[in-house]
Structure 1
Amino acid sequence: MRKSLFGCSIGKAMVPKPKDAVEDCYATYEDLQRGLRMCGLESSNVVVAIDYTKSNTWTGETSFGGKCLHDIDAEHGALNPYQTGQPCEGFAGVLARYNQVTPTVKLSGPTNFAAVIHETIRIVKMTRRYHILVIIADGQVTDEKGTDRAIVEASNYPISIIMVGVGDGPWGTMCDFDDPMRRRRFNNFHFVEFSNSRSASNPDIAFATAALKQIPDQYVHIRKEGLLTVYPDTPAH
């Protein structure tokens, strides 16, 4: 079952929470900001990964008028989901680089998140700093086992992974990766479907809240596990 993007679900039965579970209780951006301050996270480094696989040509049939999800409309200024999926102020350079590179890229497959996760691990081992990896993709993953192993390995490091789903999905695999019961030191992977925030009165704030709301508790788990100071010797692939 897909998790609610906003706030916490309240049911009649209480289910015991696994030790690595991450709270999902920030309903507003103001709540999220307070949570970030309370956990001691003042700044973060961000790695942005963008999906250029072939499936982007057809997974916008419903959500993007049948066009390729990377279609750049320079004449009319219409933004594609990848261009609008980056609401943070510091991302002007990322967006400019995306607009420069995308017209030259030939879409192909298969899709595997493992490479960018391992690269983020390498960066973290080199810099010894907390990083947030933002993967913007259409959700079509061909090597699920390889990606799953990489997510598990990343839980040994101070890394939070946010997967932003653009296009029509399906999102079943992403929801599976977001399962807190999986074998990780903490629940380091959070999936958010981009289109779910577009109908909000302030879509950018709604999306930022949905995407970042697990960061405070993830950071608490990272500090509790000592991942900011202890780095495994296992090499990143």
Structure 2
Amino acid sequence: MWGERAHHKHGHHHDNVGSRDRQPKFIADNYSSVDEVITALREAGLESSNLIFGIDFTKSNDWSGKHSFGGESLHAISRTPNPYEQAISIIGRTLSPFDDDNLIQCFGFGDVSTCDHSVFSFYEDYRPCCGFEEVLDRYKQMIPYLDLSGPTSFAPLIYAAISVVENSNYQHHVLVIIADGQVATSKSYSIVSPQEEATIQALIDASFYPLSIVMVGVGDGPWDEMQPADEGIPARAFYNFQFVNFTDIMSTSKDMEKKEAAFAFAALMEIPTQYKAAQGLLPPEDPSATN
């Protein structure tokens, strides 16, 4: 598990701020609509937040919907929204009330042009999308022209999100990574793969910025590497990473509105605490910043 391996490799430099024992105790089943989750986030102290989406275009999307999406590619475009479209819509609807300008930066990764070393912007001039509806429209426009590849690394995406935060005068952002697979691992449990190493370091670096990172797992998984990742990564200024299993939540027998609320809650429940923890972070280049 890359969180555990990270712990052994990096050592534990200092305690994370905003740890789970200080978090408000929300109960997921209390929410029957996205609107109720929005109210809960506001009552928990979230004032404003900007959204960044990172979308996984690795090759495994072609087959990891075998069980959870009727054998279709997870990026299949039809009358039925695919898991990426569903997740974008639910997250977008939940966070849009907290976003003053409604501008959403969107990046893709894992295709032939980026593999595990870079990202591409949904628009070549790096302009953001206006609202999650435009995110969905642009996503559907791009899909036919993308060649899926890999391997999976979240590091380039996390560093792209850090740049967005830097260029926004350090406003709080939520990076939502929607992906069908965990970070590429090495064959040996005791060895950290280059992609794991880069992603772990990126998460550590990102914790010194007002940036919350939510990974949404779509498709069949497996997700065994992701579950313990948050606790096992040391040296962060605050707990900045949350994993949520979209497939598990959306496959329950509840009605759709309750499932959407449960997913929004699971993905975003830690954001208010992270928002508060990040308020004390100063820009790294600020001469008054402390180490």
Normalising by the smaller structure, the TM-score range is 0.7 to 0.9
Q: 1:110 to 1:46 in 2, by over 3 A?
A: same
**What residue number does 1:111 align with?**
152
Q: 1:203 to 1:220 in 2, by over 3 A?
A: same
Are 1:46 and 2:51 an aligned pair?
yes
| Worse overlay, 136-145 or 101-110 | 136-145
Give 1:24 deviation, angstroms: 6.5
Return the match for 2:239 from 174, 182, 187.
187
Return the match for 1:206 from 257, 262, 272.
262
SS in 1 for 2:277: helix
Return the match for 2:276 from 213, 216, 220.
220
**What residue number does 2:228 align with?**
176
Give 1:131 deviation, angstroms: 0.4
Give the distance between the partners of 2:42 and 2:233, measured in 1 at CA.
24
**What residue number does 1:81 align with?**
83
Q: 1:221 to 1:206 in 2, by over 3 A?
A: same
Q: How many residues align?
A: 211
- The question of whether the paired residues in 2 share the 8 Å contact of 1:139 and 1:174 is answered with no
SS in 2 for 1:178: helix
Are 1:56 and 2:58 an aligned pair?
no
Are 1:97 and 2:153 an aligned pair?
no
Unaligned runs of 5+ in 1: 2-16
Give 1:68 deviation, angstroms: 1.2
Give 1:33 deviation, angstroms: 2.7
Give 1:60 deviation, angstroms: 1.2
1:78-119: CA deviation from partner (whole Å, max 9, x where unpaired): 221111112133411111111111111110011111111001
Percent of aligned pairs sharing the same letter: 45
Moved over 6 A (4+): none
Paired amino acid for 2:19: A
**What residue number does 2:40 align with?**
34
Q: 1:129 to 1:18 in 2, by over 3 A?
A: closer
**What residue number does 1:136 align with?**
178
1:11-38: CA deviation from partner (whole Å, max 9, x where unpaired): xxxxxx9754132732234476334334
Give the distance between the partners of 1:141 and 1:50, measured in 2 at CA.
14
Return the match for 2:213 from 146, 150, 161.
161
Paired amino acid for 2:75: H
SS in 1 for 2:239: coil
- The question of whether the paired residues in 1 share the 8 Å contact of 2:17 and 2:239 is answered with no
- The question of whether the paired residues in 2 share the 8 Å contact of 1:162 and 1:211 is answered with yes
SS in 2 for 1:179: helix
Give the distance between the partners of 1:177 and 1:212, measured in 2 at CA.
17
Give the distance between the partners of 2:259 and 2:201, measured in 1 at CA.
33
Give 1:139 deviation, angstroms: 2.2
Q: 1:181 to 1:150 in 2, by over 3 A?
A: closer
- The question of whether the paired residues in 2 share the 8 Å contact of 1:133 and 1:160 is answered with yes
SS in 2 for 1:173: coil
TM-score, normalised via structure 1 length: 0.81
Give the distance between the partners of 1:58 and 1:81, measured in 2 at CA.
14
| Worse overlay, 169-178 or 203-212 | 169-178
Q: 1:233 to 1:144 in 2, by over 3 A?
A: same
